[in-house]
């Protein structure tokens, strides 16, 4: 009886105390939208000095379900918006609804807050380093962004690791492993940028970025001189690195994969002071990586700390250091040579020789960025960067390829050093004259680049009497022994003797005004850039050039989700080379005519871009078709024309279903040939692209039930009518390319498990060309079916 009485008392106390307990807390909720009324998904919103935050859903809604009664300050802040704070008081049992409308300042919404754009496949806003003062929908240019979530879902670990399948028309043909990225788009190799700086110091740079410290990558199609100096008429890609967010969080991930891949990364993001003025972020990665070919390695580590200090409400200073260290098999060893055609040998065949000293690379970068909000409508950005690249290594290329499938393997020294000192100063602003809105950009770029290299020493591993047999490879001690290169002589002296000197100094000034009419529904862009450059290469005399390049663009908003655009612009790109007859090297000039239509669908959850372009490019240097392996002469092509159509789709189609799909048709041909140039004719196809490129990547995540957070993904890449990488005609064309990848994953609040299978159909995939001097084909095979599994834990 007493037990029953006690049970009843406890039950009644619980019954009455439950609502009482619930009444001890309040609820805060609301919705965050942009100025055009669109919901802003995945925005972080926090209670100031309380380390309590929430994230908006796809509809822009947020909720704090249990807040103790009291007074609070709720804050939404990020680069690119005017910070907002609201003081609130929560009482017991109250449900307070508080909405925010995010307004842009002089720098368009780069990151709506913290993790907003990193949680979607569709990115609506440019980074600050692109200097655009508007959403991508309104920009008169085709710009595609590969988000951080895409990188993680596809388990992309470096710039050269399948990333380009997310962008229409981008291809990467035979290459030197994971050393350089070298992406081709719109008929030319595009420029490599990092945080707005052109980081190309030679024909082969820069070292591929490890994805551990990369936030996202922006692909800008067509000339980008109005944003960044020294661009290419075909476009560029801009790697945006991770910065502190102002929230205490972190992530550790481990990845294992086929062919002895072992990788660990750490992302640590923390406030060093309670007021959030001093922020710190550290990203590190360690990787051991083998290959489907024996005796190959690609071991790396990276270290990337970032400090950010809010000097005042209007001024912020960010210091960033990045170190990448690589130890890898000598470059060039991934190629196979055959007198009879492509794919003539097993894809596991390698021409490397065990015992050849690995190539070692140390790549350093220090960047300082100062942002000062002059007023609500005007912002100044100044940044400077120093890059230092050190390489001690070798490259390999055969001295002879014989008709009986034997070769003489050759190893050449490749020690190199590069330094770059770069600086930028620009001002973004908004003004209004009468009924016309002005988005204004003015600025300066300057830089000094030096590259020295010794590639003047080489050694044959095999003797003519005992060549390397491709049918029966023997990796024992080579018949001619190992090389013994001179590294006692200082590199600068060796580089002079080898002709391995390149340098460039440039200065440019630019101004742009985007005039908005009829409540900014019609936008006219007028811009111009002045560029001066002084440069030399291969030990030749310095060349100077200067030019003013204009830009005119028009963008019209049909409605709040649809815009059409047209743009005409010019490019002026310095280039270095050595012409056989000693002629002067002129910078590349080019024009781009482009039209397109952009549309956001279903409240901005996914986006499509359709564009058509025509690029004329003059004075471009290309490798002299008559070169021997030891020669680096170039010829002036004359003029080439690239034209095509591109389509991109990305975003969330329905709840849980994300899609990236693209297609590009590219036609690039020679239209004029410089008198005296042989081996190249009008009408020839320009090397290094595919006429048809199609990609898709689909991800579906279960939204409810026991397996909520689990999902599947898959996609393909298709290349047709591929052009080889040299002017040599050869006898065989490259076959069409088709690759299928797929994966599964499960994500909880704190951890995520991701597994992917690559080249599921186990096709023999390769790219290659014909080398006339050796009378042989060369090609580089991709890996057979392989797997990766990652486990990530958030803290």
Q: CA 455 to CA 495: how far, in whole Å?
A: 8
374: burial class by Cβ within 10 Å (0-12, 13-18, 19+)?
middle
Rounded mean pLDDT of 220-241? 77
Peptide bond into 155 cis (omega under 30): no
Rounded mean pLDDT of 78-98? 77
Rounded mean pLDDT of 554-562? 96
| Residues 471-498: tens digit of each pLDDT | 999 999 999 999 999 999 999 999 999 9
Instruction: Residue 39: name the closest of 57, 59, 25 by CA.
Output: 59
What pLDDT was estimated at residue 228?
57
Q: CA 336 to CA 351: how far, in whole Å?
A: 7
Rounded mean pLDDT of 38-62? 72
What pLDDT was estimated at residue 541?
72
Rounded mean pLDDT of 719-736? 86
pLDDT grade for 101, boundaries at 50, 70 and 90:
confident
State the alpha helices, DSSP H only, in 469-554.
491-498
Q: CA 368 to CA 318: how far, in whole Å?
A: 6
Based on its alpha-carbon atoms, the radius of gyration of the chain, rounded to whole angstroms, reads: 28
Is a pLDDT exceeding 90 seen at residue 601? yes
What pLDDT was estimated at residue 118?
37
Is a pLDDT exceeding 70 seen at residue 389? yes
Measured from the Cβ of residue 608, the count of other Cβ atoms closer than 10 Å reads 17
pLDDT grade for 9, boundaries at 50, 70 and 90:
very low
pLDDT grade for 104, boundaries at 50, 70 and 90:
low
pLDDT grade for 82, boundaries at 50, 70 and 90:
low
> Which run of H or E residues covers position 17?
helix 2-22
| Residues 604-660: tens digit of each pLDDT | 889 999 999 999 988 887 777 777 766 767 788 889 999 999 999 999 999 899 999
pLDDT grade for 234, boundaries at 50, 70 and 90:
confident
Strands (E), 398-500: 400-401, 406-408, 410-413, 415-433, 436-454, 458-460, 468-469
> Which run of H or E residues covers position 686?
none
Q: CA 537 to CA 539: how far, in whole Å?
A: 5
Is a pLDDT exceeding 90 seen at residue 728? no
CA quadruple 381, 117, 432, 445: dihedral sign: positive
Is a pLDDT exceeding 90 seen at residue 24? no
Which residues lie closer than 8 Å to 713 by C-beta, 6 or more apart? 153, 154, 697, 698, 699, 700, 742, 743, 744, 745, 756
Q: Which of 29-33, 150-154, 156-160, 257-261 has the lowest mean pLDDT?
A: 29-33
Is a pLDDT exceeding 50 seen at residue 776? yes
Is a pLDDT exceeding 90 seen at residue 44? no
| Between 226 and 274, the higher pLDDT residue | 274
Q: Is 13 helix (H, G, I), strand (E, B) or coil?
A: helix
Which residues lie closer than 8 Å to 160 by C-beta, 6 or more apart? 172, 175, 178, 180, 181, 208
- Give the global pTM: 0.85
Rounded mean pLDDT of 164-169? 96
| Residues 537-550: tens digit of each pLDDT | 776 777 788 888 88
Which residues lie closer than 8 Å to 404 by C-beta, 6 or more apart? none
Is a pLDDT exceeding 60 seen at residue 684? yes
Is a pLDDT exceeding 60 seen at residue 518? yes
What pLDDT was estimated at residue 145?
94
| Residues 415-463: tens digit of each pLDDT | 999 999 999 999 999 999 988 999 999 999 999 999 999 999 999 999 9
333: burial class by Cβ within 10 Å (0-12, 13-18, 19+)?
buried
Averaged pLDDT of the chain: 87
Q: CA 106 to CA 83: how far, in whole Å?
A: 13
> Which run of H or E residues covers position 553?
strand 543-559
pLDDT grade for 54, boundaries at 50, 70 and 90:
confident
Is a pLDDT exceeding 60 seen at residue 96? yes
Q: Which of 458-467, 662-671, 767-776 has the lowest mean pLDDT?
A: 767-776
Q: Which of 17-31, 183-197, 409-423 has the lowest mean pLDDT?
A: 17-31
pLDDT grade for 687, boundaries at 50, 70 and 90:
confident
| Between 756 and 230, the higher pLDDT residue | 756
Is a pLDDT exceeding 80 seen at residue 761? yes
Measured from the Cβ of residue 229, the count of other Cβ atoms closer than 10 Å reads 29
């Amino acid at each position: 009886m007493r037990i029953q009485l006690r049970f009843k008392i406890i039950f009644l106390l619980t019954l009455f105390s439950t609502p009482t307990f619930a009444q001890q807390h309040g609820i805060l909720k609301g919705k965050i939208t942009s100025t055009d009324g669109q919901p802003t998904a995945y925005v972080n919103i926090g209670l100031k000095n309380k380390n309590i935050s929430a994230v908006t859903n796809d509809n822009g809604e947020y909720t704090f379900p249990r807040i103790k009664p009291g007074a609070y300050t709720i804050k939404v802040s990020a680069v690119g918006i005017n910070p907002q704070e609201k003081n609130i008081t929560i009482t017991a049992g109250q449900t307070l609804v508080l909405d925010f409308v995010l307004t842009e300042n002089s720098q368009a919404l780069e990151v709506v807050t913290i993790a907003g754009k990193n949680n979607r496949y569709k990115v609506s806003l440019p980074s600050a380093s692109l200097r655009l003062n508007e959403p991508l929908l309104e920009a008169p240019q085709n710009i595609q962004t590969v988000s951080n979530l895409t990188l993680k879902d596809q388990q992309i670990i470096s710039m050269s690791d399948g990333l380009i399948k997310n962008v229409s028309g981008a291809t990467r043909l035979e290459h030197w492993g994971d050393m350089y990225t070298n992406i081709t788009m719109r008929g030319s190799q595009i420029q490599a940028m990092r945080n707005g700086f052109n980081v190309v110091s030679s024909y082969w740079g820069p070292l591929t970025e490890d994805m551990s410290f990369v936030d996202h990558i922006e692909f800008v199609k067509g000339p980008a001189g109005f944003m960044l100096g020294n661009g290419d008429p075909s476009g560029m890609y801009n790697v945006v690195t991770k910065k502190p967010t102002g929230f205490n969080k972190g992530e550790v991930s481990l990845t294992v994969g086929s062919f002895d891949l072992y990788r660990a990364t750490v992302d640590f993001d923390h406030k060093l002071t309670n007021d959030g003025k001093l922020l710190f972020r550290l990203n590190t990665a360690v990787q051991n990586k083998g290959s489907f070919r024996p005796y190959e390695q690609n071991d790396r580590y990276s270290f990337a700390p970032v400090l950010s200090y809010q000097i005042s409400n209007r001024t912020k200073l960010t210091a960033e250091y990045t170190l990448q260290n690589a130890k890898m098999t000598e470059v060039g060893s991934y190629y196979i040579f055959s007198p009879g055609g492509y794919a003539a040998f097993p894809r596991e065949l390698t021409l490397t020789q065990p015992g050849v000293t690995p190539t070692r690379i140390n790549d350093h970068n220090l960047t300082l960025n100062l942002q000062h909000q002059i007023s609500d409508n005007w912002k100044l950005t100044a940044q400077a960067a120093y890059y230092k690249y050190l390489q001690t290594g070798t490259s390999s290329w055969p001295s002879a390829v014989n008709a009986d499938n034997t070769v003489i393997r050759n190893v050449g020294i490749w020690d190199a050093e590069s330094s770059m000192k770069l600086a930028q100063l620009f001002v973004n602003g908004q003004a209004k004259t009468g009924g016309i809105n002005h988005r204004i950009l003015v600025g300066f770029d300057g830089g000094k680049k030096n590259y020295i290299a010794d590639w003047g020493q080489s050694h044959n591993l095999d003797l003519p009497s005992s060549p390397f047999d491709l049918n029966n490879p023997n990796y024992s001690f080579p018949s001619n022994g190992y090389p013994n290169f001179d590294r006692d002589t200082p590199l600068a002296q060796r580089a002079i003797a080898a002709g391995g000197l390149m340098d460039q100094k440039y200065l440019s000034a630019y101004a742009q005004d985007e005039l908005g009419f009829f409540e900014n529904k019609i936008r006219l862009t007028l811009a111009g850039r002045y560029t001066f450059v002084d440069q030399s290469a291969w030990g030749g005399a310095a060349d100077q050039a200067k030019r003013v390049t204009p830009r005119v663009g028009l963008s019209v908003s049909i409605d709040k989700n649809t815009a059409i655009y047209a743009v005409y612009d010019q490019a002026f790109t310095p280039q270095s080379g050595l012409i056989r007859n000693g002629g002067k090297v002129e910078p590349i000039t080019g024009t781009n005519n482009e039209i397109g239509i952009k549309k956001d669908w279903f409240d901005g959850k996914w986006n499509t871009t359709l564009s058509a372009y025509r690029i004329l490019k003059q004075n471009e240097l290309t490798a002299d078709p008559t070169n021997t392996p030891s020669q680096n002469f170039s010829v002036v092509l004359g003029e080439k024309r690239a034209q095509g159509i591109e389509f991109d789709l990305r975003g969330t189609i329905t709840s849980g279903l994300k899609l990236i799909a693209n297609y590009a048709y590219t036609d690039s041909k020679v239209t004029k040939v410089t008198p005296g140039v042989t081996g190249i004719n009008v009408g020839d196809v320009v090397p290094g692209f595919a006429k048809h490129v199609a990609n898709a990547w689909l991800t579906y995540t279960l939204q409810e039930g026991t397996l909520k957070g689990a999902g599947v993904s898959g996609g393909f890449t298709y290349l047709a009518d591929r052009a080889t990488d040299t002017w040599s005609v050869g006898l065989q064309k490259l076959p069409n390319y088709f690759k299928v990848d797929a994966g599964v994953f499960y994500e909880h609040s704190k951890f995520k498990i991701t597994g992917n299978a690559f080249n599921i159909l186990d096709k023999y995939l390769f790219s290659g060309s014909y080398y006339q001097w050796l009378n042989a084909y060369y090609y580089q095979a991709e890996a057979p079916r392989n797997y990766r599994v990652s486990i990530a834990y958030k803290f």
